[in-house]
């Protein structure tokens, strides 16, 4: 299913809330979408929390799907959009630091308190709209009689916000703060440390002092979290323009060690900060690795790639990309200017070239610009950057060559000549091949056993 437009998704969520309300239930927008609406950033998906049990939700809507009925979550398809509807719940003890062992359906307050950070623990009633400008003194209107005891309730342009944990204040102060005791909340699920870093960098928020201290204290315990979850968090952190802030914060909190399975470093992630949003995920990882001082000698690439693959649960494509890009950077830095025209063209036509060039340019913009200019020159040569070969193995055999050990070397040398515009027709290419084959043959005779 393709992503619905935010407008359609919010309309569908509103429709579901209205239907639940008409059936006598309490229903609010909850979690990330409320946070995003209040911060003014585009909400990704709209989640609903309600006192209706999963059975009730399934009975009320014709198109539903159980996604986690034991957790009280039902997917409702409404107006062509799928929306998660979850019953208010409190989480039981965590034994695998990932999912609570049991959940108990409970109150909105308990549901807010099970959530990780205060800014993620707000509810919004989008149907309760007062005119926020209605107060002549310009004060933010507050509901006279709270709907829920113990909650601060405040009208916003989006509706009535219900806040059990001080999240509204933290949004104002731009603070990521754990709900309740930071130590306990991290011990329940160590992935929350990475979520804190992701939200802080994404929104440019600070980490509350106590939350940051707790993260630092528990950093090494992140190793207990599955590599898949860790990898997903890092992929999302580096996917956002604030990626260098995320990397810096991970390092600052000592999380880089359990995340990357290598010693903690404090170096500023400068290349990562300049890498640009069009880059691939593995290019960002490569930039960060180089920022961290991993010297890229050819012999160091394979162990680094193997480590990152395990640490971040990289796919085969990502692993191969990382390896190629790191190799490419080493190749470009080692001696692009001294390479032959053919070697430069071969490099410029490789998969890794543009991505490796991003990294070279991020550390040395002049060198990056020089390489780009040179590639444009190469593109304008008669043969261009990556022409179809004038001859291949079959053409050579047809021209009377015997397939043998020198074959590939001859073909490569002939293609180099084509790239350098020393041959431009098949006949010239075959003639050169004959010459080369004879030479190479003589070399082999000389160096062979007597
Ligand atoms: P985004 O989807 O933009 O990454 P989000 O806050 O919506 O951010 P989700 O993973 O979709 O994140 O989770 C939805 C809500 O569930 C969160 O806002 C939070 O209230 C709660 N939540 C998610 N993961 C955890 C967790 N590990 N511990 C406690 N609460 C969590
Ligand atoms: Mg979400």
**Ligand 1 atom with least separation from CA of 115:** 30
Counting ligand 1 atoms within 8 A of each CB, the residue from 171, 195, 224 with the most, and so the one to mutate, is: 195
Dihedral in degrees, nearest 10, Cα atoms 110, 114, 115, 118: 60
Q: Which residues surround ligand 2, an ion (CB under 5 A)?
A: 32
Residue 408's φ and ψ, nearest 5 degrees, are: -65, -40
Cα 69 to ligand 2 centre (Å): 18
**Ligand 1 atom with least separation from CA of 121:** 20
Q: Which residue has the tokens 């070969």?
A: 389
- What pLDDT, on the 0 to 100 scale, is given for residue 147? 86
Asked whether 309 and 326 are in contact (CB, 8 A), the reply is no
Cα 7 to ligand 2 centre (Å): 16
Residues in the chain: 450
**Ligand 1 atom with least separation from CA of 236:** 4
Cα-to-chain-centroid distance, residue 259: 14
- Residues of the chain below pLDDT 70: 1-2, 93-99, 131-144, 441-450
Strands (E) across 25-137 are located at 27-30, 47-50, 64-68, 73-78, 81-87, 89-91, 103-105, 122-125
Counting ligand 1 atoms within 8 A of each CB, the residue from 6, 13, 28, 31 with the most, and so the one to mutate, is: 31
Q: Which of 14, 104, 19, 126 is nearest to 53 (CA)?
A: 104
Indicate which residue's Cα is closest to atom 7 of ligand 1: 32
110-133 exposure pattern, b = at least 16 Cβ within 10 A, e = fewer: ebbbbbbbbbbbbbbbbeeeeebe
- What pLDDT, on the 0 to 100 scale, is given for residue 71? 84
In angstroms, the CA 265 to CA 364 distance is 22
- Mean pLDDT, the chain, as a whole number? 91
Give the count of alpha carbons within 13 A of 24, CB side only.
2
For 171-228, the DSSP string reads HHHTEE-BSS-HHHHHHH-THHHHHHHHHHHHHTPEEPHHHHHHHHHHGGGGGGS-HH
Cα 85 to ligand 2 centre (Å): 12
Task: Name every protein residue with a CB atom under 6 angstroms from any ligand 1 atom.
Answer: 31-32, 44, 47, 115-116, 120-121, 189, 191-192
Cα 32 to ligand 1 centre (Å): 6
Cα 208 to ligand 2 centre (Å): 22
Counting ligand 1 atoms within 8 A of each CB, the residue from 13, 114, 116 with the most, and so the one to mutate, is: 116
Model's pTM, two decimal places? 0.90
Sequence-distant (≥ 6) Cβ neighbours of residue 278 within 8 angstroms: none
Cα-to-chain-centroid distance, residue 204: 17
In angstroms, the CA 60 to CA 77 distance is 12
Q: How far is CA 423 from CA 382, 411, 418, in A?
A: 11, 13, 5
């Amino acid at each position: 299913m393709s992503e619905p437009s935010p407008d359609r998704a919010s309309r569908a969520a509103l429709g579901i809330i209205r239907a639940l309300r008409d059936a006598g239930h309490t229903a609010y927008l909850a979690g990330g979408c409320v946070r995003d609406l209040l911060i003014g950033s585009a909400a990704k998906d709209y989640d609903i929390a309600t006192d209706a049990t999963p059975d009730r939700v399934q009975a009320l809507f014709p198109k539903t799907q159980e996604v986690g009925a034991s957790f009280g979550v039902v997917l409702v398809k409404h107006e062509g959009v799928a929306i998660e509807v979850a019953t208010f719940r409190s989480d039981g003890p965590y034994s695998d630091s990932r999912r609570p062992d049991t959940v108990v359906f409970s109150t909105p307050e308990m549901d807010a308190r099970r959530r990780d950070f205060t800014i993620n623990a707000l509810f919004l009633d989008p149907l309760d709209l007062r005119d926020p400008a209605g107060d002549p003194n310009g004060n933010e209107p507050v509901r006279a009689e709270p709907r829920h005891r113990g909650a601060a309730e405040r009208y916003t342009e989006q509706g009535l916000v219900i806040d059990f944990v001080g999240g509204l204040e933290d949004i104002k102060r731009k603070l990521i703060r754990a709900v309740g005791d930071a130590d306990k909340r991290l011990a329940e699920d160590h992935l929350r440390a990475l979520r804190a870093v992701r939200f802080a960098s994404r929104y440019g928020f600070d980490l509350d002092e106590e939350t940051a201290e707790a993260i630092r204290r528990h950093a090494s315990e992140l190793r207990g979290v599955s590599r898949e979850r860790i990898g997903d968090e890092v992929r999302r952190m580096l996917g956002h323009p604030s990626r260098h802030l995320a990397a810096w914060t991970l390092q600052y909190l000592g999380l880089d060690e359990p995340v990357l399975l290598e010693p903690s470093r404090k170096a500023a992630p400068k290349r990562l900060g300049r890498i640009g949003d069009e880059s691939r995920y593995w290019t960002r990882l490569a930039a960060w690795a180089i920022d961290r001082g991993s010297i890229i000698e050819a012999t160091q690439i394979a162990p680094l790639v193997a480590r990152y693959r395990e640490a971040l649960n990289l796919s085969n494509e990502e692993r191969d990309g990382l390896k190629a890009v790191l190799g490419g950077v080493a190749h470009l830095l080692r001696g692009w200017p001294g390479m032959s025209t053919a070697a430069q063209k071969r490099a410029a036509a490789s998969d890794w070239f543009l991505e490796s060039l991003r990294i070279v340019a991020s550390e040395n913009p002049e060198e990056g610009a020089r390489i780009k200019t040179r590639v444009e020159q190469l593109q304008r040569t008669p043969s261009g950057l990556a022409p179809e070969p004038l001859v291949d193995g079959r053409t050579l055999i047809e021209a009377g060559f015997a397939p043998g050990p020198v074959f590939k070397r001859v073909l490569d040398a002939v293609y180099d000549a084509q790239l350098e515009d020393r041959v431009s027709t098949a006949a010239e290419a075959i003639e050169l091949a004959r010459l080369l084959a004879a030479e190479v043959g003589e070399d082999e005779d000389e160096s062979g056993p007597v």
